[in-house]
Amino acid sequence: MAFMKTLFFVVYLLSSLLLLHSIATHEGLESITLSLIHPFSVHSPFYPGKNVTDVEKTNLLIQATVDRMRHLFPMTTRSQGKYWNGSSEVDDIAATVLEYSGAYYVAKVGIGSFPPVPGPKWLTYYLIMDTGSHITWVQCEGCNPCFPLIQIPNFPFSRSQSYRSIPCGHRDCPTPREDCYGGSCGFIARYSGNDGPLTRGTIARETLTFSSDISGSMAYNNLFLACGLQNNNYRFRQPNKIAGLLDLGPGGRGTPPIWRQVDQKRFSYCLFTSEQTSSKLHIGEGARLAQPQVMSTPLLRGSDISIAGIRLKLWGFFRFGGCVIDTGVPFTSIVAKAYSIVRIVFIRYFAQFGLQLYGSGSRPSGLPMFDLCFPRPPQGFRFPTMTFHFKRADLVVQPTGVFSVGSNYICVTLRSGDVTLIGAYQQTQHKFSFDLELGNTGTLFFAPENCGAPV
């Protein structure tokens, strides 16, 4: 918890959700390379279909952002009406977080050892890659209650030759004795308050395999894996392929995160907005940035914002709440008092060109559920950039990461919130590298980069 409190960027690496495609297989492994598939790609298990409109896809991302905020801050996230704005007075909510809209990345992971079955010697599962969690778990055989799972059985741990149970109270058990499940090392994973999803079960040692069509596979033996045996209040959209969670968090009361278990302390990622391209995640030495435009900032509190080069002097609004960089949140939220100023600046900017904010009476049907939407600008319109100012480093978000543009509208992809989180959409076309060894609290490096590669 002390680590979490000192972070300027609370690093929820990809809780958000990622599709794993490749990993190096050479001796003396120095880094893991993962291919990240856009959730709306035809290659994603969450592909919504070719008849889904761009506005419907955007609204899925908006709902995913709201769900994520409820997950991270269940006691402070507030509903804000039909559209995102900072003016509504409403009651606190603590809704179920795992009603997934399908606007996420997922991880494809091999679990267990089942020779002499022909082909792969493991079973492949889709896991939610979540750095807000402290447990890597999969739903196992014998669960009661269980959530529905198609195309793959609940993990048959009793038949896996690499499964090693851990007795309750054993020195190898990473959780306290009160979490024991029967006579075994156990865990409790609760999400979003007392009424949210809850998983209980056992913790064991198991082999996890990361696979690729191109580079083969790499198996890691004796990693901690939790078996979900009591899974309550999960409402995955059906038919469901998600079997559990893959932890890439900073650590806590639970199993060590995967990056720590494979003895790495550095990771990086680079996101792209297109559905036809893949992005990359690196864990280990491959996460270092070598570009000449690299900037760095310590992982401490504090930030400011500029729009179209105009500094808004918002340091005071971020002094206590800090700022979170979270790829699990599709769109950025800004603490309410700062958002109100950002909102005014955008309205004034568009007003210079005769473009007035759509109000409740003038708002056309079929617009995304954003607060700041305007008529589409004419050809040649100069879109403003948005810059987040950190200590010794500026993150310049290009217009493609600030606006959602349709045939008759342009919307600013921001929302008002109780905390400030820089979401995945605003992180696109930059490579971010987190080094948890440098400095007292770690260091963030980032640089502009064309992140996409053909799927």
Start and end residues for every CATH 2.40.70.10 domain found in the chain: 2-287, 295-454
pLDDT grade for 357, boundaries at 50, 70 and 90: very high
- The three-class DSSP label of residue 180 is coil
- Mean pLDDT in residue range 253-280: 72
Predicted pLDDT of residue 213: 42
Instruction: Tell me: pLDDT of 303 over 60.
Output: yes
pLDDT grade for 163, boundaries at 50, 70 and 90: very high
Per-residue pLDDT tens digits for 89-102: 222 222 222 334 44
- Mean pLDDT in residue range 214-240: 83
| Contact by Cβ (8 Å): 204, 188 | no
CB atoms within 10 A of CB 5: 10
pLDDT grade for 154, boundaries at 50, 70 and 90: very high
Predicted pLDDT of residue 272: 67
Instruction: Tell me: pLDDT of 6 over 60.
Output: no
**Homologous superfamily assigned to 2-287:** Acid Proteases (2.40.70.10)
Fill in the DSSP letter of residue 192.
S
Predicted pLDDT of residue 261: 80
- Mean pLDDT in residue range 107-126: 84
Predicted pLDDT of residue 299: 56
Predicted pLDDT of residue 263: 74
Euclidean distance between CA atoms 300 and 260, whole angstroms: 22
Within 285-436, strands assigned E span 295-298, 304-307, 310-311, 324-325, 332-335, 373-375, 386-390, 393-397, 403-405, 409-412, 414-417, 421-422, 430-435
The CATH architecture one would assign to domain 295-454 is: Beta Barrel (2.40)
- The three-class DSSP label of residue 294 is coil
Per-residue pLDDT tens digits for 17-52: 333 333 333 334 445 666 666 667 776 666 677 777
pLDDT grade for 348, boundaries at 50, 70 and 90: very high
Predicted pLDDT of residue 449: 79
Map tokens 């896996």 to a residue: 160
Predicted pLDDT of residue 29: 45
Per-residue pLDDT tens digits for 187-205: 998 876 667 788 999 999 9
Euclidean distance between CA atoms 16 and 429, whole angstroms: 17
- Mean pLDDT in residue range 251-278: 72
Map tokens 């040649």 to a residue: 380
Per-residue pLDDT tens digits for 118-135: 777 899 998 876 655 678
- Mean pLDDT in residue range 308-330: 75
Instruction: Tell me: pLDDT of 352 over 50.
Output: yes
- Mean pLDDT in residue range 403-419: 89
More confident residue, 239 or 46: 239
Q: Average per-residue pLDDT in the chain?
A: 74
- Mean pLDDT in residue range 395-405: 89
Strands 421-422 and 324-325: parallel
